[in-house]
Amino acid sequence: MSSKGIFSRADTGLLSSSGCKGLLTFFILAVAWLVGFGSRLFSVIRFESIIHEFDPWFNYRATKFMVENDFYTFLNWFDERAWYPLGRIVGGTVYPGLMITSGAIHSFLHFINFPIHIREICVFLAPFFSGLTAIATYLLTKEAIKTGKVFWSVCCALSYFYMVSAWGGYVFIINLIPLHVFVLLLMQRFSQRVYVAYTSFYVLALISAMQVPFVGFQPIRTSEHMAAAGVFVLLQGVALYFYLKNRVSASKLKGLLSLLVLSFAGLVFLAVVGLTYAGIIAPWSGRFYSLWDTGYAKIHIPIISSVSEHQPTSWTSYFFDLHVLVCVFPAGVWFCFKNLTDERVFIVLYAIFASYFSGVMVRLILTLTPIVCVFAAIAFSRFFEVCLVEDTSKLSDSDSSETDRSKPKRASRQNNANSTTGDEIFGFSIKHILMMVGIYVLLLFVMHCTWVTSNAYSSPSVVLASYRQDGSKVIIDDFREAYFWLQMNTPTDAHVMSWWDYGYQIAGMGNKTTLVDNNTWNNSHIALVGKAMASNETESYKLMQSLDVDYVLVIFGGLLGYSGDDINKFLWMVTKTMADSLMYKLSYYRFADLKVDPRGPTGFDRARNVEIGMKNIKLTHLEEALTTENWIVRIYRVKKPQSRQKLRQTKQRINISYLQRLGSAGRKGVMNDQVGDVSIAA
């Protein structure tokens, strides 16, 4: 027998053992967890253990407050350093799931005498959950549990409760699951399993979600949750129909059913319309309206469309994030459509809606990625199954050729040469060639994902890096330089005005009070800051005095070519007199003194590749306090109003001849008779 046949049969016997299958599955999942964990450590290796981006700084600050105090103090925490002078009630405006998770891990590690700072836990929590995401995706693809029992519905509801406590995107799930049940009803796939699973899930999920303070009564008072409630009521009606079907005659059932459907539909319609009109059921929020009407946010809530994460997704982003999975994804959908089951209906619906939503907002590509991985895994699995299956005829031919050892070597070679038929190329089977091509494509996918993760998604927003012509790295640490200066060189109660993007970082690293931050709960307050940035210095000074502003922080990338500065965001608060606005002056103040390029003019803006228009910029009510090394962060001190205002100087005409006659007696000299202008205080 050939080694090929021995290996295939031995391998089949080995894998037939459930213990070996379980061990191999555990080993592969452990490797997947390690890969997922390691892929999130590039930023720690390249820079250091640091909190990234903007929102995580608030999560870290809130977690630190909870660890230093207790959970109930955290729920009642009034943050006076945010949204001055309004403040923020943190417990009722935050999803506390991540804070509770980090705090629980911190308490457990200290309980076993493993002291660690809460910041390190916040840094490594995301890599830890990244590995768990790989395992969860495998379990979703495998569809391990599908019994329709109450126990697993309870587990699903508890998982949903944790999602509600940690992420505002839970609304996607609470609408997707009812949609799955509704489609099953339309496909006439109602069963006791579906009824028990959804009924148990909805009741427990509804009660548990209402325990989150930020959610409260939203599951029964907002339009985003009405679909789940409607499907729950509809499912009870369908169950009642099947119950009566076995106990009432067909003629009576038809009339009774018509009466029940009409009366029930009328009551539901009147109840929804009446409660919505009375304001008890809130309409869809702006973010959800913008998912269906892409132009809604730009017209009614511009701050939503001003966020870069809310922009439509370009086709290059799909390839950049998903690579070859974009091409394999439809094949997996086709395999599921060939044999459609209740479970596969769910993932198909998930794929359809996630694909649509990811095209509307670039941030929602996060919801598309898991299902793309699921369908790509199904497609690759079927592909390798076809490539690895041996033809039984070839195995029998190989066995018979080895048992017949009486033939001469010439005849054996001639038979081997003749056996090379059209399904082999250079002695290799076409299936094996296709399998090697598939493995090569997967290796390219791994290389691409590693490069994207290490370069594009592992650069913290507070620390930038650039490379010289010789390839050496240069660390640009202007953000932390500015925030540390704020913390050490400004009064404790100083109020800092900046655009809302940097509010969390100023409060987290600079430990200073901000006017607006990334929570964006008060659009009018943000508009007031935008008005101050867009107005001239005199009008802005009046607004800053009313808001009790001590310092103004702006981000400027004209020196290094940093495109994420405030001038590029100025499109969302632009005026016709832009060159006279406060933002323009604070960004380009003293910039005309710099000659960025020896061959170019002074005051050349590298971020916009243009020479600035106004170069002689003077400030009256503000003074420069700090400009970082690379001019990325600029901080200005707001001058205090004078305790005694300057008297207005006016010119009055005085008859000097009259003064001469009054004062000429007893004096030497003669004054000519003339009229002069004398400046006196009015």
In whole angstroms, how large is the CA radius of gyration of the chain? 35
Interatomic CA distance for residues 417 and 409, integer angstroms:
12
Supply the pLDDT for residue 411: 47
Supply the pLDDT for residue 654: 62
Q: Model confidence at 53, in pLDDT bands (50, 70, 90)?
A: confident
* Residue type (1 letter), 293: D
Supply the pLDDT for residue 658: 56
281-285 average pLDDT score: 72
pLDDT tens track for 361-387: 888 999 999 999 999 999 999 999 888
670-682 average pLDDT score: 45
Number of CB atoms found within 10 A of residue 482's CB: 26
Supply the pLDDT for residue 662: 55
Top-confidence residue, 596 or 538: 538
Name the token pair of 549: 């502003």
pLDDT tens track for 109-122: 999 999 999 999 99
Supply the pLDDT for residue 667: 52
Torsions phi, psi for 151 (to 5 deg): -60, -45
Which of 12-16, 80-84, 467-471, 537-541 is the least confident region? 12-16
Torsions phi, psi for 282 (to 5 deg): -75, 145
Supply the pLDDT for residue 343: 87
Does residue 50 have a pLDDT over 80? yes
Does residue 682 have a pLDDT over 50? no
38-45 average pLDDT score: 90
The three-point CA angle 231-336-171 to 5° equals 35
Any idea of the CA torsion for 629, 635, 640, 645, to the nearest 10 degrees?
A: 80
Supply the pLDDT for residue 493: 93
Name the token pair of 406: 């009486």
* Residue type (1 letter), 140: L
Does residue 66 have a pLDDT over 90? yes
Q: Which residues contact 252 (CB under 8 A, 6 or more apart)?
A: none
Does residue 414 have a pLDDT over 50? no
Which of 9-23, 63-77, 83-97 is the least confident region? 9-23
Name the token pair of 24: 């191999």
Supply the pLDDT for residue 5: 43
Which of 426-435, 449-458, 633-642 is the least confident region? 426-435
SS3 category, 540: helix
Interatomic CA distance for residues 291 and 171, integer angstroms:
13
Of 310-314, 543-547, 567-571, give the range with the top mean pLDDT.
543-547
Number of CB atoms found within 10 A of residue 496's CB: 23
Supply the pLDDT for residue 338: 87
Q: State how far the alpha carbon of 329 is from the alpha carbons of 133, 292, 317, 441, in Å.
A: 19, 24, 16, 14
Supply the pLDDT for residue 663: 57
CB-side exposure of 617: number of CA atoms within 13 Å?
Answer: 26
Does residue 101 have a pLDDT over 80? yes
Number of CB atoms found within 10 A of residue 591's CB: 21
Supply the pLDDT for residue 559: 93
Of 399-403, 468-472, 495-499, 523-527, give the range with the top mean pLDDT.
495-499
Does residue 680 have a pLDDT over 80? no
* Residue type (1 letter), 204: L
Pair 95, 212: CB distance under 8 Å: yes
Total residue length of the chain: 682
Interatomic CA distance for residues 7 and 168, integer angstroms:
51
Supply the pLDDT for residue 280: 73
Supply the pLDDT for residue 528: 94
Supply the pLDDT for residue 448: 94
Pair 313, 365: CB distance under 8 Å: yes
Largest CA distance in the chain: 155
pLDDT tens track for 476-497: 999 999 999 999 999 999 999 9
What architecture is the 474-638 domain classified under in CATH? Answer: 3-Layer(aba) Sandwich (3.40)
Which of 5-14, 40-49, 504-513 is the least confident region? 5-14
Interatomic CA distance for residues 570 and 575, integer angstroms:
9
Helices (H), 571-632: 582-588
Q: Model confidence at 3, in pLDDT bands (50, 70, 90)?
A: very low
Does residue 276 have a pLDDT over 50? yes
Does residue 138 have a pLDDT over 50? yes
Supply the pLDDT for residue 349: 95
CB-side exposure of 518: number of CA atoms within 13 Å?
Answer: 18
Number of CB atoms found within 10 A of residue 422's CB: 6
Interatomic CA distance for residues 524 and 629, integer angstroms:
34
Q: Model confidence at 583, in pLDDT bands (50, 70, 90)?
A: very high
Task: Show me where the domains of the chain are located.
Answer: 32-142, 148-283, 314-396+425-460, 474-638, 649-681
State the pairing for strand pair 513-514/495-497.
parallel
396-403 average pLDDT score: 52
SS3 category, 516: coil
Using a pLDDT cut of 90, give the percent of the chain over it. Answer: 50
Supply the pLDDT for residue 62: 95
Q: Model confidence at 150, in pLDDT bands (50, 70, 90)?
A: confident
Top-confidence residue, 615 or 278: 615
Q: Model confidence at 652, in pLDDT bands (50, 70, 90)?
A: low
Mean pLDDT of the chain: 84
Q: Token pair 């009606």 is at which residue?
A: 237
The residues that bridge with 513 in the sheet, in sequence order, are: 495
Name the token pair of 2: 């050939």
The three-point CA angle 275-281-282 to 5° equals 140
Interatomic CA distance for residues 496 and 551, integer angstroms:
5
Of 154-158, 214-218, 565-569, 624-628, give the range with the top mean pLDDT.
624-628
Interatomic CA distance for residues 82 and 591, integer angstroms:
32
Supply the pLDDT for residue 206: 94
Supply the pLDDT for residue 660: 60
Name the token pair of 93: 């405006």
Q: Token pair 């009375």 is at which residue?
A: 278
Tell whether the torsion through CA atoms of 419, 421, 423 and 424 is positive or negative. Answer: positive
Does residue 11 have a pLDDT over 60? no
668-672 average pLDDT score: 48
The three-point CA angle 218-220-226 to 5° equals 105
Top-confidence residue, 115 or 404: 115
Number of CB atoms found within 10 A of residue 346's CB: 20
Supply the pLDDT for residue 681: 42
> Any idea what DSSP says for residue 53?
S
Does residue 664 have a pLDDT over 50? yes
Does residue 398 have a pLDDT over 70? no
Pair 133, 36: CB distance under 8 Å: yes
Using a pLDDT cut of 70, give the percent of the chain over it. Answer: 84
pLDDT tens track for 536-553: 999 999 999 999 999 999
Supply the pLDDT for residue 399: 53
Supply the pLDDT for residue 386: 87
* Residue type (1 letter), 642: Q
Q: Model confidence at 646, in pLDDT bands (50, 70, 90)?
A: low
Does residue 219 have a pLDDT over 80? yes
